[in-house]
Structure 1
Amino acid sequence: MAGLTAMFAECAKWVNQGYKEGPNNDTVFGKWYGDNNEPWCDQWISYCAAMSGNADVIGKFEYCPSHVNWFKARGQWSEYPKVGAIVFYDWDGDYVADHVGIVVSFTDSTITTYEGNTSSGNAGSQGNGDGCYQRTRPRKVRQVLGYGYPSYPSDTPAPQPNPTPAGPAFPGRYLKLTSPYMRGDDVRTIQARLRARTWAIGVDGVFGPQTDSIVRQFQARHGLEADGIVGPLTWREAFNG
């Protein structure tokens, strides 16, 4: 029986039994995939998908960036967590996926997941650990790259993106780092919006170096020119999600 319930049951089975890899990344999942003795976080997700009848909606991958591109090509990608979403982590802040898990639950500041090839806590390797664990991690933009939304069969509703807020109209002036610093409600509005999207930005109405840096990072992540200037395109993208 396919669906999210079956996927969770398969993932939980390995977590609850405390599955540990053998020497040199020797795993059940690598043998099944046909490429053993390699980092296996995405092999594990793919294995659980196949064993639970969800291969068509989750795919079969061992390289996380390819899996991200697969979800994006299907229009099933978001910055926001949902129960059952496939979460991809970016440990290095280079916008390339390094690790993967499945979202079990979440709050405004954390996500709880099932993951393979990780460690039981922060002391070990997060992306090439020794086993399958349930983890609770912060929802940090520089740590979470994004979420793939599988179209699970109908035993449970598939994860759906959050509704897109209309957002305020572009205020008319281009916001950027100047001397003296720009100030105003329009600066505060864009800061608050980026903070709501989990970027670690202060909301003080002052366009200083921190705001400039966060705006550039946001632009780079969303395929915009990373010039630090909040014009109509950057403003619209900030409220489009």
Structure 2
Amino acid sequence: MTNQAQKILGIAKAEKGYHEGRSGGHWNNDQKYSDETPGLKWSDKMAWCATFVSWCANKAGIASLYPVTASCATGVAWFKQRKRWSAYPAIGSQVFYGSGGGAHTGLVYDYDATYIYTVEGNTNADGSAEGDGVYLKKRRRKDAYVYGYGYPAFAEGIRSADPAYAGKAPQVPAEKPATKIVALNSAVKPGATHAQVAELQQLLIKAGYGPIKGAVTKFYGTETQKAVARFHDRNPAYRSGLHDPRIGPKGFVALQKQAGRR
């Protein structure tokens, strides 16, 4: 299941390559995010890095977890007021840049000991002052330009480099081990030749119903039938008659478990 952090980051990263409009040979800040974000239509043709984050949060259905604003400084104040501010990066956090965090902003999609990896609107590829679109960026965590991080209150918790949040990371459900139990092929019966007969013979021997003279083969012969009858004698719930020589689907599952499969 996609959690809230994954959802907003997926939406944000899908915008990579989007560019604002141009006029008179220059980028002009005319973009879709202002018009599509409730309450921010007025901000079109203005710097739109904060508006981009607000748009992503709205599209993800978690607008209440991020400040709805076109102002980076307002975004910093919003997180600090809610005591959701940190000097450490976190997945899905809103990073703020420049003096007081008022110069630029974006979303952190990953981090390591040295870098943060972000998706940012109203930026560029060459580091110039004029932003033109949405890009994925890689920045040094200890760069003086990095001011700090606002932490959304994700329902699943937040994965953060901040020691104070060590116990608040999302809990990943343990994967259920894949079962090794297999179904019985309907062709496996006395007198038949089938690849699964060899498996049946091995299971019977391992579970203590051997020996099976001549095993291991693909032929369901007399010796295999005797071993199956011994299984049924000890597990009568799985046999259809006295000394039943044919293994049934449920009996085959029970035999696998007795042989140690899970």
Aligned to 1:87: 95
- The one-character-per-residue Cα deviations of 1:185-229 (angstroms, maximum 9, x if unpaired) are xxxxxxxxxxxxxxxxxxxxxxxxxxxxxxxxxxxxxxxxxxxxx
Does the CA-based 8 Å contact 2:108-2:119 persist in structure 1?
yes
Q: State whether residues 151 and 159 of structure 1, in contact with CA within 8 Å, keep that contact through their aligned partners in structure 2.
A: no
Q: Distance in 1 between matches of 2:102 and 2:52?
A: 16
SS in 2 for 1:95: helix
Q: Does 1:26 align with 2:26?
A: no
User: Which residue in the other structure is 1:101 paired with?
Assistant: 106
1:10 partner amino acid: I
Provide TM-score, normalisation by structure 1: 0.60
Whole-angstrom distance in 1 between the partners of 2:160 and 2:141 = 18
The one-letter amino acid of 1:85's match is S
What residue is the counterpart of 1:163 in the other structure? 163
Q: Deviations over 1:107-146 (max 9, x none)?
A: 2221110000000232x22xx4100000001113521110
Give the aligned partner of residue 50 of structure 1. 58
State the AA in 2 paired with 1:31: D
| 1:59 CA displacement | 2.3
Deviation (angstroms), 1:95: 2.7
Q: Kindly report the root-mean-square deviation, in angstroms, between the aligned alpha carbons of the 2 structures.
A: 1.8
1:5 aligns with 2:6: yes
| Other structure's SS at 1:68 match | helix
- Partner residue of 1:215? none
Q: Which protein is bigger by CA-based radius of gyration?
A: 2
Change (3 A) 1:96 1:151: closer
After TM superposition, the runs of 4+ consecutive aligned structure 1 residues lying more than 4 A away are none
* Structure 1 unaligned regions, length at least 5: 165-241
Cα 1:160–1:74, aligned 2, differ >3 Å: closer, same or farther? Answer: farther
Q: Secondary structure at the match of 1:10?
A: helix
Report if the CA contact (8 A) 2:94-2:105 is conserved: yes
- 5+ long unaligned stretches in structure 2: 23-27, 165-262
Identity rate, percent: 33
| Alpha-carbon distance change, 11 to 101 in structure 1, aligned in 2, over 3 angstroms | same
Q: Which residue pairs with 1:150 in the alignment?
A: 152
Q: CA deviation at 1:161?
A: 6.7
Partner of 2:76: 68
Match of 1:196 in 2: none
Contact 1:4/1:153 (<8 A) preserved: no
Calculate the TM-score normalised by the size of structure 2.
0.55
- CA distance in structure 2 between the aligned counterparts of 1:89 and 1:73, rounded to whole angstroms: 18
| Preserved contact between residue 111 and residue 139 of structure 1 (Cα < 8 Å) | yes
Q: 1:112 aligns with which of 96, 108, 117?
A: 117
Between stretches 41-50 and 27-36, larger displacement belongs to 27-36
